[in-house]
């Protein structure tokens, strides 16, 4: 029986596979300078933005897709992808103007906008196919000087800030996908927290791919000025598709002196069906810079989706006494492949970083942790602790750990720990004998395993993450 | 309550139980004794539905229900509890959460609403006292880092929490020192009622000094070859199993 229970439990198919019937405007497939110009024109962008895109595009032409990851990526024909899709209707001013279909979509995801607005105090900037459809709470935030808007709006209304920070953490030359994104990015979010302001609410954006064959290229820029604090949430699920969909996002975070930025994400892009057909390719560049003294950035991610994930939320610890964390749960099932981890680059003095990575592999999936801890020559007393755990369900999946360390300062202390464990049939039967079904038993065990990371998520997200991990909530008792 | 008739069961094609019959009524305590490899643990596995074992012939009926048609968790929720010989560790799952999940699954099965936090905590407290279990243990992950004795005590604690109709204690005495044995046995005795029954599987007579059986059965080569009262256990203790084997051969 050895595999049957685990097999049954892990063979449940993607539950959020549905598409929303909203009119979309798609430009013809293929990529060339004209397409880049067309994207820019459709968004009424200023000349400097177009120049940025063209520079990135020209650089992209000179680059090749990276091949070092432990991934088997089918050849992608970049000329068969459409690079822009936007809902036809103009952005609505209130919920009444929002397409009911869209609202239904969010309902299915368990994210009713109205309730969030009314109950949880979250400002939601919903990105539906590249263009922001709805932004809430903007006025409240504006009173405090906080800017939270779509990237396009930022380009229009806050060009100085965008010009000052865009591309400073992830330059367009950084890597193949970053260059591609810089050339064709559709939209995303922009956050600016002024000096001394503590953002009073969690900022969240829900991304969702919703047009056949449309690559989605978000770009997010978060700037936390001196002595400020912000918690930013990003979550996404995608509808079921046969065609592979390309997703290449960029997230840049800048934390100035004493600033504190918490970035959390639950990622559930369509992973493909049981046989590995379809699914999103997710090639993301996420990086933050602790620019000022005592600044702090934390990344928390729960990754359950995508056919292929290539993602390394990283941090450059430039300011003295700055610190950063990376907490991750990455689940792969069926034919999913994930190569994910973090990079911590210690440059300033007395900097510290913590990496906690929990991989869960099932089916015939491949789950790799890849991490780099780099300590610069001048990074006196840098400290890093990395822990990478792998949990295997069944015996056909793979878990891999690739830790890299480059330490150029003798005072540094860098530690790495790794464990691998497996859910055994004995554990499952033990739970069965206490009245707990095999599915719930796996949920319970996975929940327990991932708890340390899930607990780092803001409450609203933790619930969604636990749903995604098929688990019952570990309640207030105990 | 439990009627086993002509039960044949095998693991990996090897037949272990070869025509076992047993009848247990409410309020009774049955002891199953026998030499190593006679099929004692297989019997507990088959009753609880461990999927590693295959029933090839015969029937197991619990309160007029055919157990073979039920999943292991359904059998558990019907009120069958197994105190494991080797309880497994489940890292990351706290005892509290595990127990609460188990109790709520049982309640769901019986169409009852989930237990309230206060009731749950109160029952936890009571049952912990019953088996003199340390608070520290219930705050840890299931069986993780527990000593052999603590694991066994934890089994009886879970039994007390779930209040089964039929409890099967599989070698619960193995690895217990005399004090722990007394505590465990005491727990079992306190849970005894005219409505529930217990099957005690053991090598030695020792446990039966504390848990007094109504019936003692000797299992040999997959069959019950001799049954009697508690005096049979004493006889086995002094004479060993060889004379039983002789009798069977004759």
Q: Residue B114 has what DSSP assignment?
A: P
Asked if B162 has any chain A CB less than 8 Å from its own CB, the reply is yes
Domain extent for B245:
2-249
A432 neighbourhood in chain B, CB within 8 Å: 49, 71-73, 76
- pLDDT at position A99 is 52
Is the pTM of the predicted complex or chain greater than 0.90? no
Q: How large is the average pLDDT for residues B197-212?
A: 90
Q: Which one of B13, B45, B90 would you mutate to disrupt binding with A, by most A Cβ within 10 Å of its Cβ?
A: B90
C-alpha–C-alpha distance, residues A203 and A205, integer Å: 7
Closest Cα of chain A to B178: distance in Å?
A: 27
Q: How large is the average pLDDT for residues A355-377?
A: 92
C-alpha–C-alpha distance, residues A421 and A327, integer Å: 19
Each domain of chain A, given as residue ranges in start order, spans: 4-311, 423-478
Asked if A391 has any chain B CB less than 8 Å from its own CB, the reply is no
C-alpha–C-alpha distance, residues A303 and A453, integer Å: 11
C-alpha–C-alpha distance, residues A8 and A2, integer Å: 11
Range name among B63-67, B107-111, B242-246 with the lowest pLDDT average: B242-246
Closest Cα of chain B to A360: distance in Å?
A: 14
- Beta carbons within 8 Å of A187's beta carbon, 6+ residues apart: A43, A127, A130, A131, A132, A150, A151, A152, A218, A219
CA nearest B80 in A: which residue? A433
Q: How large is the average pLDDT for residues A69-90?
A: 76
Asked if A90 has any chain B CB less than 8 Å from its own CB, the reply is no
- pLDDT at position A16 is 54
Based on the structure, what is the number of domains in chain B? Answer: 1
Q: Is the ipTM of this complex over 0.90?
A: yes
Closest Cα of chain B to A356: distance in Å?
A: 15
> Across the interface, do B52 and A477 touch by the CB < 8 Å criterion?
no
Q: Three-class SS string for A232-295? A: EEEEEECCCCCCCEEECCEEEEEECCCCEEEEEEEEECCCCCCCCCCCEEEEEEEEEEECCCCC
Give yes or no for residue A9 having a pLDDT over 70: no
Asked if B112 has any chain A CB less than 8 Å from its own CB, the reply is no
Handedness of CA B191, B192, B198, B203 (dihedral sign): positive
B77 neighbourhood in chain A, CB within 8 Å: 435
Q: How large is the average pLDDT for residues B154-183?
A: 91
Give yes or no for residue B108 having a pLDDT over 60: yes
C-alpha–C-alpha distance, residues A112 and A53, integer Å: 35
Q: How large is the average pLDDT for residues B229-238?
A: 88
Pick the more confident residue, A19 or A452: A452
> Across the interface, do A433 and B91 touch by the CB < 8 Å criterion?
no
Asked if A387 has any chain B CB less than 8 Å from its own CB, the reply is no
CA nearest A473 in B: which residue? B97
Task: Using pLDDT thresholds of 50, 70 and 90, give the confidence band for residue A224.
Answer: very high
C-alpha–C-alpha distance, residues A308 and A321, integer Å: 36
Closest Cα of chain A to B86: distance in Å?
A: 10
Give yes or no for residue A434 having a pLDDT over 70: yes
Closest Cα of chain B to A274: distance in Å?
A: 25
C-alpha–C-alpha distance, residues A53 and A172, integer Å: 9
C-alpha–C-alpha distance, residues B62 and B2, integer Å: 5
The CATH number of the domain holding residue B146 is 3.40.50.300
Q: How large is the average pLDDT for residues B82-111?
A: 94
Asked if A400 has any chain B CB less than 8 Å from its own CB, the reply is no
Asked if A449 has any chain B CB less than 8 Å from its own CB, the reply is yes
- pLDDT at position A363 is 81
- pLDDT at position A470 is 54
Asked if B240 has any chain A CB less than 8 Å from its own CB, the reply is no
Give yes or no for residue A147 having a pLDDT over 70: yes
Q: How large is the average pLDDT for residues A26-35?
A: 84
Pick the more confident residue, A95 or A271: A271
User: Within the 119-138 window of chain B, which residues sit less than 8 Å (CB to CB) from chain A?
Assistant: 120-121
For A437-469, letters b (16+ CB in 10 Å) and e give bbebbbbbbbbbbbbebbebbbebbbebbbbbb
> Across the interface, do A437 and B71 touch by the CB < 8 Å criterion?
yes
For A34-60, letters b (16+ CB in 10 Å) and e give ebbeebbeebebeeebbebbbbbbebb
Could you identify the residue written with the tokens 């005219």?
Answer: B194
Asked if A430 has any chain B CB less than 8 Å from its own CB, the reply is yes
């Amino acid at each position: 029986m050895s595999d049957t229970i685990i097999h049954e439990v892990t063979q449940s198919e993607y539950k959020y596979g549905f598409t929303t019937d909203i009119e979309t405007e798609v430009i013809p497939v293929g990529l060339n300078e004209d397409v880049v110009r067309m994207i820019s024109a459709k968004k009424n962008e200023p000349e400097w933005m177009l120049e940025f895109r063209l520079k990135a595009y020209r650089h992209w032409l000179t680059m090749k897709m990276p091949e070092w990851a432990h991934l088997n990526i089918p050849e992608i024909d970049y000329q068969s992808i459409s690079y822009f899709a936007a809902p036809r209707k103009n952005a609505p001013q209130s919920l009444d103007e929002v397409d009911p279909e869209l609202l239904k979509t969010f309902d299915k995801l368990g994210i009713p906008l109205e309730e969030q607005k009314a109950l949880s105090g979250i400002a939601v900037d919903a990105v539906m196919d590249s263009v922001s459809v709805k932004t809430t709470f903007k006025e409240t935030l504006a009173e405090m000087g906080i800017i939270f808007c779509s990237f396009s709006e930022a380009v229009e209304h806050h060009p100085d800030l965008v010009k000052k920070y865009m591309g400073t953490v992830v330059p367009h030359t950084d890597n193949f996908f970053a260059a591609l994104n810089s050339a064709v990015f559709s939209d995303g979010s922009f956050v600016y927290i002024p000096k001394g302001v503590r953002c009073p609410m969690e900022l969240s954006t829900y991304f969702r791919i919703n047009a056949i064959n449309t690559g989605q290229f978000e770009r997010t820029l978060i700037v936390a000025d001196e002595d400020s604090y912000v918690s930013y949430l990003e979550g996404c699920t995608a509808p079921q598709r046969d065609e592979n969909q390309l997703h290449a996002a960029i997230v840049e975070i800048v934390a100035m002196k004493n600033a504190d930025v918490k970035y959390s994400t639950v990622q559930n892009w369509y992973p493909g069906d049981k046989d590995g057909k379809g699914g999103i390719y997710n090639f993301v560049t996420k990086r933050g810079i602790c620019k000022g003294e005592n600044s702090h950035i934390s990344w928390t991610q729960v990754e359950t989706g995508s056919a292929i994930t290539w993602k390394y939320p990283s941090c450059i610890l430039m300011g003295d006494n700055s610190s950063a964390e990376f907490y991750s749960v990455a689940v792969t099932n069926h034919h999913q492949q994930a190569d994910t981890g973090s990079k911590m680059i210690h440059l300033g003095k007395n900097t510290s970083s913590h990496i906690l990575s929990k991989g869960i592999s099932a089916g015939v999936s491949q789950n790799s942790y890849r991490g780099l801890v780099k300590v610069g020559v001048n990074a006196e007393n840098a400290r890093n602790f990395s822990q990478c755990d792998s949990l295997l369900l069944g015996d056909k999946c793979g878990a891999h750990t690739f830790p890299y360390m480059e330490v150029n300062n003798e005072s540094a202390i860098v530690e790495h720990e790794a464990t691998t464990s497996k859910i055994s049939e004995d554990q499952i039967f033990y739970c069965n004998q206490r009245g707990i079904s095999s599915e719930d038993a796996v949920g319970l065990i996975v929940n327990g395993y991932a708890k340390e990371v899930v607990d780092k998520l803001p409450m609203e997200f933790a619930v969604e993450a636990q749903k995604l991990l098929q688990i019952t909530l570990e309640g207030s008792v105990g | 309550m439990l009627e086993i008739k002509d039960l044949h069961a095998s693991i990996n094609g090897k037949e272990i139980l070869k025509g076992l019959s047993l009848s247990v009524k409410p309020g009774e305590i049955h002891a199953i004794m026998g030499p190593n490899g006679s099929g004692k643990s297989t019997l507990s596995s088959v009753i609880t539905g461990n999927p590693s074992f295959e029933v090839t012939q015969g029937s197991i009926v619990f309160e007029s229900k055919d157990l073979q048609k039920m999943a292991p968790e359904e059998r558990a929720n019907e009120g069958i509890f197994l105190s494991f010989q080797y309880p497994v560790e489940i890292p990351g799952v706290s005892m509290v959460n595990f127990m609460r999940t188990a109790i709520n699954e049982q309640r769901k099965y019986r169409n009852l609403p989930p237990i309230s936090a206060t009731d749950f905590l109160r029952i936890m407290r009571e049952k912990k006292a019953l088996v003199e279990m340390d608070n520290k243990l219930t705050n840890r992950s299931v069986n993780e880092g527990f000593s052999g004795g603590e694991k066994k005590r934890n089994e009886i604690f879970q039994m007390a929490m779930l209040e089964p109709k039929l409890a099967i204690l599989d070698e619960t005495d193995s690895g217990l020192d005399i004090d722990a044995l007394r505590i465990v046995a005491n727990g079992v005795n306190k849970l005894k009622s005219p409505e529930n029954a217990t099957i005690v599987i053991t090598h030695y007579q020792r446990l039966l000094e504390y848990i007094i059986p109504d019936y003692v059965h000797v299992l040999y080569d997959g069959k019950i070859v001799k049954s009697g009262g508690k005096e049979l256990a004493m006889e086995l203790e002094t004479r060993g199993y060889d004379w039983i084997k002789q009798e069977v051969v004759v």
